[in-house]
Chains A and B, each alone.
Chain A
Amino acid sequence: MSALRESMGFLASRLRQVGIFVALILIVLLFQVLTNGILLEPQNVTNLVVQNSYILILAIGMVMVIIAGHIDLSVGSIAGFIGAVAGVMIVHWGWAWWAAIPACLLVGALVGAWQGYWIAYVGIPAFIVTLAGMLIFRGLTLITLKNQQITPFPAELRALGGGFLPDISGGTSVLEWLTVILGVGATAALLIQSIKERRVRRKFNLENEPMAWFAIKTVFIALLMLTITFLLASYRGTPIVLIVLAVLVIVYSALMSNSIFGRHTYAIGGNLHAAELSGIKTKAVTFRLFVNMGVLAALAGLVFTARLNSAQPAGGTGFELDSIAAAFIGGAAVQGGIGTVAGAMVGGLIMGVLNNGMSILGLGTDYQQLIKGLVLLLAVGFDIFNKNRSAGGGSTLGKRFKWKTTPPAGVEETKPAGKTPVSVAAVAHPASAAEKP
C-alpha cells in the first residue's frame, strides 16, 4: 500500500515527462483506431521514422539552443542551403559521397560559427541573428541552385534518406533478421544498463526511483522497443537514418545530462548571471551551441536531400517551426534552463504521428496546421498550469487549486525569505535521466 502511494507520489512529481509520453501513446492509439489499423502497419511505421527523421535531428540541436535560453529560426534555410551545396559538390563537381558529406557538415559548422559569433560575442539576440540567417541562407540557397533543382544523386547518398540495412537472410525470411538482432540487442543492453545503474545508486546510497515505478517503466520501454523492432523487421528492416538518429539521441542525451558542456548549457539557461559568476564561460558555450546547431542542420539537410533525391530551392522551408514546436511540446521552457533531448524526440514524434495520421485520414494541410497549432498551445499551457500549481506549494494533486490563493509577486517580495517553509513535496527533476531513447 505504502509502496503504491510512494510510486504515485513519484509519478505526480514527474507528471510533465510521463504526461507527454502518455499523450504520445494516446495519440497513436487514437489514430490506430481512426485509420482502421493503417497507422501501425509495418510499412507506415517505417514511413513515420523516415519522414520525421530530419525534423528529429533538428529538434536535438534546437532543444539545446532553447535550454540555453536562445532560439534558432534559421535551421530550415541552413538545411536547404546545405542540400544545395551537396548538389553542387556531388552532381556538378562529381565529388564522392564520402568526401561530400564531411565537407557539407563542415560548411554547416561554419554557418553555425557565423551565427554564434554574432549572438555570443557581439551580443545580438538570437531571434534577430537567426531571423537574418533565415533570409541570408535562403538567399544563398537560391543563388547556389540558380533557382533550379539539382538531381539525381548517387545511390550511396540516397541511402542516407531512404536506405535500409542489408537483408542478411538474402530475402528468404519474412522477418529481417539483422533488425531483430539489433532490436533485441539494444533492448537487452538497455535492461542491463538500467539495472546496473540502479545497483550503483543503491551502493552509493543515493536516491532511487521507487521499485514499482522502475519496474513498470523499464518493462514498458523494453516492450515498446521490441514492438517497434518487430514492426520494422516485418517490412524492409532498419532504415539507415534510424541508426543515425539513435546514435545522435544516445550521444546527445548523455552530453546534455553528463558532460560539463551540457551542464553549463542548463546553468546558462537557468540563470545567466549566476552561471557567469560561477566562472562558466557563457560566451564560449553559446558559440559552441550554435556551431553544433549548424552541423545538425547540415545533417538534416543532407538526409532531406537524399530522401527527395534532389536539392530544391524551397528545400527545408518550415523545418524551423516544426523543430521548435517539437522542443516545446517535449517540455522545454521558453525562458530556458529546462528541457531534454528525449522530450524533444517525443514532442517531434507527436507532431509526426499527427501529420501522418491526418494524412492517412485524408485531412488537408489546412486542418493539419490547425490541429498542430492547438496541440502546441495545449502542451505549453499544461506546462504553465503545472508550474503555477507546484508554485502554490507542494505537488500533491489535492492541492491543485492552491495556486489561486498565492499572493501576487509584489507582496511575495517584501516577505523575508527566511520565513518561507521548505516545501517537501515538489521534487522535480527537470533534467535527470528518467528518459532513455
Chain B
Amino acid sequence: MNVPILQMRGITKTFPGVKALQDVTLNVNRGEVHAICGENGAGKSTLMKVLSGVYPHNTFDGDILFENEPCDFSTISDSEKRGIVIIHQELALSPYLSIAENIFLGNEIASRGWVDWRQTNLEAAKLLARVGLSENPVTPIQHISVGKQQLVEIAKALSKEVKLLILDEPTAALNDEDSGHLLDLILHLKGQGVTSIIISHKLNEIRKVADAVSIIRDGKTIETLRLDQGQITQERIIRGMVGRDLKSLYPERTPTIGEEVLRIEDWTVQHPQDHSRTVVHNASLNVRKGEVVGLAGLMGAGRTELAMSVFGRTYGRATSGRVFKYGEEINTSTVSDAIRHGIAYATEDRKHYGLNLIEDIKRNISMAALGKLAKKGWVDRNEETVVANRYRKSMNIKAPSVAAITGKLSGGNQQKVVLSKWMFSDPDVLILDEPTRGIDVGAKFEIYSIIAGLAAEGKAVIVISSELPELLGICDRIYTLSAGHITGEVPIAEASQETLMHYMTQEKE
C-alpha cells in the first residue's frame, strides 16, 4: 500500500540573507492526501514552488524523486509534463474567458493553430462532470462563484492528466459550503488514484481529509504524522507548529494601564465582492490607555479586514457595528473622520498602501497631517524638514537625509517612516498591522521598543501579527480571531502559544 510517489530529500533554498528552507525532507505515498502545516512564513509555499519548478532546479540544493525518477524542472511546464500540477492560492484564471477556454488555456485543442471549439467544449463538459460542477462550459469565469472557480482550476489540472495535485490554501477564500464540497472532491479524486498535497491552516479540514501531515517550522521539517498510526490530533499538530524556542528578545516594560480609549461593538463586515461571505462576525473588543492589545489569527481570519473596516470603511461592504471613544460613540466612516478622532492604522502592506515610494522621507512623514504644518493651506516646508529630522533622530531612521526617497530604504527603515507618519498625526489609538513583516531581527527589536514607547506615552496600541512569540512578547492582552469570529480574549499572564493556537483554530458554528 505505502508506495512512495514523491520523495524530496535535503531541500535547502536560500534567498539573499535568509534560509527559507533548510534540509527539508518530504515523502508522499501514492494515492494519499498529504497535508502540510505550519505557521505563516514557515516555508510551505516555498517548498511547493521548489517542487513545481517555479524555482528552477539549480536554484536550490537537494534531490526530488517523482515515481522513482529524478526531477530537474526548469519551469512549471516541465513539472506539469510529469503530472505534477499546482493550484495557487490566488487563482490563475482569466475572468473574461469561458470555463472551457480557461481549462485549456495554454493547452488548446487545436489543429494547425485553429482551435476546435466543439471538441474543446465537449472535453470541458466531461472534466466538469468529473469535478461535479454543473455549469455550461461557455459561461465566462467571472459569472461563477469563487468556489466554482476553484473547481475549474481542478478540472484544468485534470485535463493535464495530473498524478500529483498540489493545493495551496484551497479553502482560504471559500465559504463553508464550498469548502466542504471541495474537500469531498479531493477525497473523490483520491479514489480515482490522484495523489494530493494540501497546504492548509484549518485543522478540522486536515483531520477530515489527510492521511498524513508534515509539519514545517522555520524552514525545517519537524515531523510527519500518519493517520494509520493514530498520530493526527489537533494537539499534536499545534505543538509541532509552534514549538520553537523563544530566543528573540523583547524590550522590558511595565505597563501602566488606564481608562478605556476605544471600544468596538458588534462589528460585522461583508466581503466587498462576494456577498455570501461575512468576513467579520459580531466582533467586539476594546483597548485601554497605555495598553498593547494583540489580534492573533491565521491567514484569512479577518484581522486586517476588521481593522481596515473600522479605519474609514477602507475594506468591505455593509459594515455594521459601533465604535466608542472614551465611552462616546464616534463616526469613523471615512479615513479623515477616523484620523480626526485620533485613530491611526499602519498597514501590513507598506509598499502598496503605506508609502509613496517615489517621494522622500519628509513628505511621507507629513502626508497624514499636512494641516499641522500649514497656515491657510500653505505648507511651511522648513518646519516640515525640522519635524522630519526630529523623527529621523528619535526613530533612528537610517538614511542620508530626510530628502532620501523612501523606495530606496530597507524594510525596517520604511516601517519607521510609516510609524513616524502616524505618530505625527498624534493619534490616541494606533492599529499596527504586521508591524515587523519583512524586517530583519535587529530592526524588529527597534520596532518593539517604539511600540513600548508609544504605550508608555499613554497611547492605546492594537498590534495585528501572525507571529505568536511577537504578540506574547509585547502585548498585555490578546484577542484571537478565527474565521471572522473573536474566539478568545486572553490576558498575557494566561497566554501561551498553545492556548492561542487552540483559539485561533477553533471553529464557531
Q: Give me the interface of A with B, judged by CB distance under 8 Å.
A: 200-201, 204, 206-207, 254, 257-261, 263-264, 266-267, 270-271, 273-281, 333, 337-338, 414-424, 426-432
Beyond the given A200-B382, A207-B401, A271-B355, could you list 11 further A-B residue pairs with CB under 8 A, ordered by the A residue number?
A204-B382, A270-B359, A275-B356, A415-B17, A416-B16, A417-B410, A422-B400, A422-B404, A427-B405, A429-B360, A430-B358
Query: How far is the CB of B374 from the nearest CB of chain A, in Å?
Result: 5
Known contacts A206-B386, A274-B354, A430-B359; is A414 also within 8 Å of B367 by CB? no
B378 lies within 8 A of A422 (CB): no
Tell me the nearest residue of chain B to A414, going by C-beta.
Answer: B15
Complex Cα–Cα for A333 and B357 (A): 14
Report which of A206, A422, A429 forms a contact with B409, defined as CB distance below 8 A.
Answer: A422
Tell me the nearest residue of chain B to A410, going by C-beta.
Answer: B54
Instruction: Give 29 A-B contacts (CB < 8 Å), ordered by A residue.
Output: A200-B382, A206-B386, A207-B385, A207-B401, A207-B403, A257-B381, A260-B371, A263-B367, A264-B370, A266-B356, A270-B359, A271-B356, A274-B352, A274-B354, A275-B356, A278-B335, A279-B334, A279-B339, A281-B336, A333-B358, A337-B358, A414-B15, A416-B16, A420-B410, A422-B400, A422-B408, A426-B405, A429-B403, A432-B403
A204 lies within 8 A of B385 (CB): yes
Among A279, A338, A428, chain B packs the most CB atoms within 10 A around the CB of: A279
Complex Cα–Cα for A194 and B359 (A): 24
A417 lies within 8 A of B411 (CB): yes
Q: Is the interface of B mostly helix, strand, loop or mixed?
A: mixed
Complex Cα–Cα for A201 and B381 (A): 10
Complex Cα–Cα for A258 and B377 (A): 9
Report if B363 contacts A (CB, 8 A). yes
Contacts of B355 in A (CB 8 A): 271, 274
Contacts of B356 in A (CB 8 A): 266-267, 270-271, 274-275, 337
Q: Give me the interface of B with A, judged by CB distance under 8 Å.
A: 15-18, 311-312, 314, 334-336, 338-339, 345, 347, 352-360, 363, 366-368, 370-371, 374, 377-379, 381-382, 385-386, 389, 398-405, 408-414, 421, 425, 438-440, 443
A260 lies within 8 A of B370 (CB): yes
B338 lies within 8 A of A270 (CB): no
Complex Cα–Cα for A61 and B404 (A): 28
Among A201, A271, A273, chain B packs the most CB atoms within 10 A around the CB of: A271
B379 lies within 8 A of A422 (CB): no
A201 lies within 8 A of B382 (CB): yes
A421 lies within 8 A of B410 (CB): yes
Tell me the nearest residue of chain B to A257, going by C-beta.
Answer: B381
A417 lies within 8 A of B377 (CB): no
Report which of A207, A264, A338, A421 forms a contact with B358, defined as CB distance below 8 A.
Answer: A338
Complex Cα–Cα for A333 and B414 (A): 23
Report which of B371, B381, B411 forms a contact with A420, defined as CB distance below 8 A.
Answer: B411
Query: How far is the CB of B477 from the nearest CB of chain A, in Å?
Result: 26
Contacts of A201 in B (CB 8 A): 382
Contacts of A277 in B (CB 8 A): 311-312, 314, 335, 345, 347, 353-354
Tell me the nearest residue of chain A to B374, going by C-beta.
Answer: A260
Complex Cα–Cα for A235 and B106 (A): 70
Tell me the nearest residue of chain B to A278, going by C-beta.
Answer: B368
Which 9 residue pairs of A and B lie closest in terms of their CB atoms, listed nearest first? A417-B411, A418-B440, A270-B356, A419-B17, A278-B368, A279-B336, A423-B408, A279-B339, A417-B438
A416 lies within 8 A of B379 (CB): no
Report which of B354, B363, B440 forms a contact with A263, defined as CB distance below 8 A.
Answer: B363
Report which of A274, A419, A430 forms a contact with B353, defined as CB distance below 8 A.
Answer: A274
A273 lies within 8 A of B440 (CB): no
Complex Cα–Cα for A384 and B173 (A): 39
Contacts of B439 in A (CB 8 A): 417-418
Known contacts A207-B403, A420-B410; is A266 also within 8 Å of B363 by CB? yes
A273 lies within 8 A of B353 (CB): yes
Complex Cα–Cα for A201 and B352 (A): 33
Complex Cα–Cα for A274 and B377 (A): 21
Contacts of B400 in A (CB 8 A): 422, 424, 427
Complex Cα–Cα for A414 and B312 (A): 31
Among B368, B402, B413, chain A packs the most CB atoms within 10 A around the CB of: B368
Tell me the nearest residue of chain A to B370, going by C-beta.
Answer: A260
Known contacts A276-B335, A278-B335, A422-B408; is A258 also within 8 Å of B438 by CB? no
Query: How far is the CB of A252 from the nearest CB of chain B, in Å?
Result: 14
Complex Cα–Cα for A261 and B379 (A): 10
Contacts of A273 in B (CB 8 A): 352-353
Query: How far is the CB of B375 from the nearest CB of chain A, in Å?
Result: 10
Contacts of A276 in B (CB 8 A): 314, 335
Complex Cα–Cα for A259 and B373 (A): 10
B377 lies within 8 A of A418 (CB): no
Contacts of B410 in A (CB 8 A): 417-422
B377 lies within 8 A of A260 (CB): yes
Contacts of A280 in B (CB 8 A): 335-336, 367
B403 lies within 8 A of A271 (CB): no
Contacts of B370 in A (CB 8 A): 260, 263-264
Complex Cα–Cα for A179 and B325 (A): 63
Contacts of B314 in A (CB 8 A): 276-277
Query: How far is the CB of A24 from the nearest CB of chain B, in Å?
Result: 25
B378 lies within 8 A of A266 (CB): no
Known contacts A206-B382, A260-B374, A270-B359; is A422 also within 8 Å of B399 by CB? yes
Complex Cα–Cα for A78 and B23 (A): 68
Report which of B374, B377, B385, B438 forms a contact with A416, defined as CB distance below 8 A.
Answer: B438
Contacts of B336 in A (CB 8 A): 279-281
A416 lies within 8 A of B440 (CB): yes
Contacts of A432 in B (CB 8 A): 403
Contacts of B311 in A (CB 8 A): 277
Tell me the nearest residue of chain B to A333, going by C-beta.
Answer: B358
B438 lies within 8 A of A418 (CB): yes
Complex Cα–Cα for A267 and B347 (A): 17
A279 lies within 8 A of B368 (CB): yes
Complex Cα–Cα for A277 and B364 (A): 12
Complex Cα–Cα for A207 and B336 (A): 32
Contacts of B335 in A (CB 8 A): 276-280
Tell me the nearest residue of chain A to B437, going by C-beta.
Answer: A417
Contacts of B443 in A (CB 8 A): 418
Complex Cα–Cα for A414 and B146 (A): 27
Known contacts A259-B378, A276-B314, A422-B409; is A416 also within 8 Å of B403 by CB? no
Tell me the nearest residue of chain A to B59, going by C-beta.
Answer: A411
Contacts of B363 in A (CB 8 A): 263, 266-267
Tell me the nearest residue of chain B to A417, going by C-beta.
Answer: B411
Contacts of A279 in B (CB 8 A): 312, 334-336, 338-339, 368, 425
Query: How far is the CB of A333 from the nearest CB of chain B, in Å?
Result: 8
